[in-house]
Chains A and B, each alone.
Chain A
Amino acid sequence: MKECGEYEALISAAVDGAVSEAERRELMGHLAQCAACREKYEQMMALHEAFAAWEAEEPPVDLAAGVMEKIRRERKRSRRRRWQRMTLAAACLAVVVLGVQTVRRLPAESPVPDEDAGLAAYSAPDAVDSADEAAPKATLADSGDLQTDVTYFEACDETGSGQGEAEQAASAVLTSPHQALLLWMEENGAEAGGESDGNRTWTISAQQLEQLEAYLQEAGAGYTLEGTPAEGGSVRVVYEDGAE
C-alpha cells in the first residue's frame, strides 16, 4: 500500500484530468477509504475552480501603447547607432543630393579639415578627442549649378566617446564617402548614373525618394531632404547639427 503522500501527485493530476483509467481507479480505491486524501482532492479541486473563475482584469493603462513606444525608441536608437557608425566613415565630407545625385564638395576656405585630415582622425585614435574642435560645422559656398547651400557634413564629433567607437567605425568602412547613402542607394536598387568630377548621380523614383526621406528621418541623425524633385529639380540632403 502506498503512503498518503504518494497520492499527492496523482490527486493533483486527477484535478487536471491528466490520469489514465488505471490511475483513476487506483486513486478512487484509496479515496474510498481515506478521508484525509478525499478532503485533499476536494480542496485541490475547489482551488482549481477558484482559479478558473478568476477573470483577467484590464490593464490599468494602455499597455500596448507603452510597449510600442519603447520598441520604437529602441529601434530608433539602434538605427541611429548604425547610421552613426556608417556616417563616421564619411567624416568631414559635404553631401548634396541633386535630382537625385550626391555631390561631394570640400570647403574652399573654412576652418574645416580636408578629407585626408578627417580620415586621419580615424586611423589615429589619439586625434579623436580633438575632432570636435577640428571639425566644426560649416556652410559651403554656393557652387554655381548646384544652387544649394551645402551644409557641411560632420560626423567627427561622434568619435568623442573614444577609441573603441572609432575602431568599430573604421571596421565598418569605407571605400567611398558617405557610405550610408551609397548603401541605401544600392540596397534600394537606385540606378547608378556613374561618377564624374567626383559627383555621383543616381536616378530614383518618386517612391524611392519618399522611402529615402523616411529612412533619413528614422535614422534620426539630423538629416532632412529639402526641395521638390520636379523634373530636373534638385533635392538636397541637409545635415543639421545639434540633432539628438
Chain B
Amino acid sequence: MTEQELIAAARRGSESAFEELVRLYEKRVYHLALRMSGGQEDALEIAQEAFLSAWRGLKFFRGESSFSTWIYRLTTNAAIDYLRREKRQGQGISLDDEETFVEPPDQRPGPQGQAERAELRRLLQEGLLTLSAEHRQVLLLRELEGMSYEEIAQALDLDLGTVKSRIARAREKLRKYFTSSGNFSEYLPSKVAERGAEHERMRRI
C-alpha cells in the first residue's frame, strides 16, 4: 500500500495500516523527540504520545498538509507539553540532570572522526536545550526535517515572518552558545574554512 492508502485505511480504523505508518515514521519521530528533549526515556514517551495523538486525530487529518509535516508537528507539540509537564522547558535546565551530559566536555582538539563528531553532537544537544522549547521547535523542524518556512508556518499556525525570525533567533543563540564556550573553532573548523572559500566565491559574483 502507498502512504496515501495506509492513511485512508488507518482513518477507517485499520490498526495494521496505522502500525505500518508508525513503522515508516518511528525513527524520524524518535530522532526529533530526542533532540527536543535530550533524553532517551523522555523521547520514547514523547514519540509514543505523538503517535497516539495521530491515531486519535486521524479523523481530523484532511491532508491539507502532508502526513509527515503533520506528525512532526504533533511530535514537537507533544515534546513541548511533556517538558512543560515535567517543568523542564530547556531554559535554566540543570545540565547535570540529563543522561546525555554525564560525560564532561573534552576541551582538547581531538583527531577528526568518531569521537569528535560525538562531541560536536553532544555540544549541539546541550546548546539546543538552552533554547526555549518554541525556538527549538522551529529550528528542529527546519534543520532535522527540512520543512520549508511555509510548511512550518502552516503547521504551527504562525506568520511566515515569525517563523523566519524565530529560526534566525534560535540559530543566533546556538551560535553564541558555541562561540562563548570556545567550541566553534574546535569542532566546526573545517566546515568554517570551507564556508570561507565558498563565501569568497559568492563575493566575486
B48 touches A63 (CB 8 A): yes
Contacting residues of chain B (6-44) with chain A, CB-CB under 8 angstroms: 15, 18-19, 22-23, 26-31, 34-35, 40, 43-44
How distant is the Cα of A16 from the Cα of B164 in the complex, in angstroms?
10
A15 touches B171 (CB 8 A): yes
Chain B residues with CB under 8 Å of A51's CB are: 124, 143-144
Report the interface size for chain A: residues with CB under 8 A from the other chain. Answer: 42
Whether, in the assembled complex, B101 has its beta carbon less than 8 Å from a beta carbon of chain A, the answer is no
B15 touches A72 (CB 8 A): yes
How distant is the Cα of A63 from the Cα of B34 in the complex, in angstroms?
13
How distant is the Cα of A153 from the Cα of B193 in the complex, in angstroms?
79
Whether, in the assembled complex, B202 has its beta carbon less than 8 Å from a beta carbon of chain A, the answer is yes
Chain A residues with CB under 8 Å of B47's CB are: 59, 63
Q: How far is the CB of A89 from chain B (nearest CB, A)?
A: 25
Stretch of A38-46, A131-139, A223-231 with 4 or more beta carbons under 8 angstroms from chain B: A38-46
B30 touches A48 (CB 8 A): no
A13 touches B164 (CB 8 A): yes
Chain B residues with CB under 8 Å of A63's CB are: 22, 26, 29-30, 44, 47-48, 51
Whether, in the assembled complex, A204 has its beta carbon less than 8 Å from a beta carbon of chain B, the answer is no
A60 touches B188 (CB 8 A): no
B51 contacts which of A8, A46, A48, A67 (Cβ < 8 Å)? A67
Contacting residues of chain A (51-73) with chain B, CB-CB under 8 angstroms: 51-52, 54, 56-61, 63-64, 66-68, 70-72
Nearest-neighbor residue (CB-CB) of A72 within chain B: B15
A40 touches B175 (CB 8 A): yes
How distant is the Cα of A56 from the Cα of B199 in the complex, in angstroms?
30
B52 touches A42 (CB 8 A): no
- Quick one: given A31-B199, A50-B120, are A64 and B164 in contact (CB under 8 Å)? no
Whether, in the assembled complex, A18 has its beta carbon less than 8 Å from a beta carbon of chain B, the answer is yes
Chain B residues with CB under 8 Å of A9's CB are: 164-165, 168
Q: How far is the CB of B192 from chain A (nearest CB, A)?
A: 5
Q: How far is the CB of A74 from chain B (nearest CB, A)?
A: 8
- Quick one: given A8-B168, A12-B168, A51-B124, are A18 and B26 in contact (CB under 8 Å)? no
A18 touches B44 (CB 8 A): no
B191 contacts which of A38, A50, A61 (Cβ < 8 Å)? A50
Whether, in the assembled complex, B149 has its beta carbon less than 8 Å from a beta carbon of chain A, the answer is yes
Interface size, B (range): 35 or more
A56 contacts which of B23, B31, B142, B203 (Cβ < 8 Å)? B31
A52 touches B31 (CB 8 A): no
Whether, in the assembled complex, B65 has its beta carbon less than 8 Å from a beta carbon of chain A, the answer is no
Interface membership of chain B positions 109-145, coded 1 if the CB is closer than 8 angstroms to chain A and 0 otherwise: 0000000000011001000000000000000001110
Q: How far is the CB of B135 from chain A (nearest CB, A)?
A: 12
B188 touches A56 (CB 8 A): no
How distant is the Cα of A111 from the Cα of B167 in the complex, in angstroms?
72
Whether, in the assembled complex, A11 has its beta carbon less than 8 Å from a beta carbon of chain B, the answer is yes
Chain A residues with CB under 8 Å of B51's CB are: 63, 67
Residues of B at the A interface (CB closer than 8 Å) are: 15, 18-19, 22-23, 26-31, 34-35, 40, 43-44, 47-48, 51-52, 55, 120-121, 124, 142-144, 148-149, 164-165, 167-169, 171-172, 174-175, 178-179, 184, 188, 191-192, 195-196, 199, 202-203, 205
4 new A-B contacts, CB < 8 A, other than A15-B171, A61-B44, A63-B51, are A42-B199, A48-B171, A50-B124, A71-B52
21 contacts between A and B (CB under 8 A): A8-B172, A9-B168, A12-B164, A12-B167, A16-B142, A16-B149, A31-B202, A42-B196, A43-B192, A46-B188, A47-B175, A47-B178, A48-B143, A50-B120, A52-B143, A56-B28, A56-B30, A60-B40, A63-B44, A63-B48, A64-B23
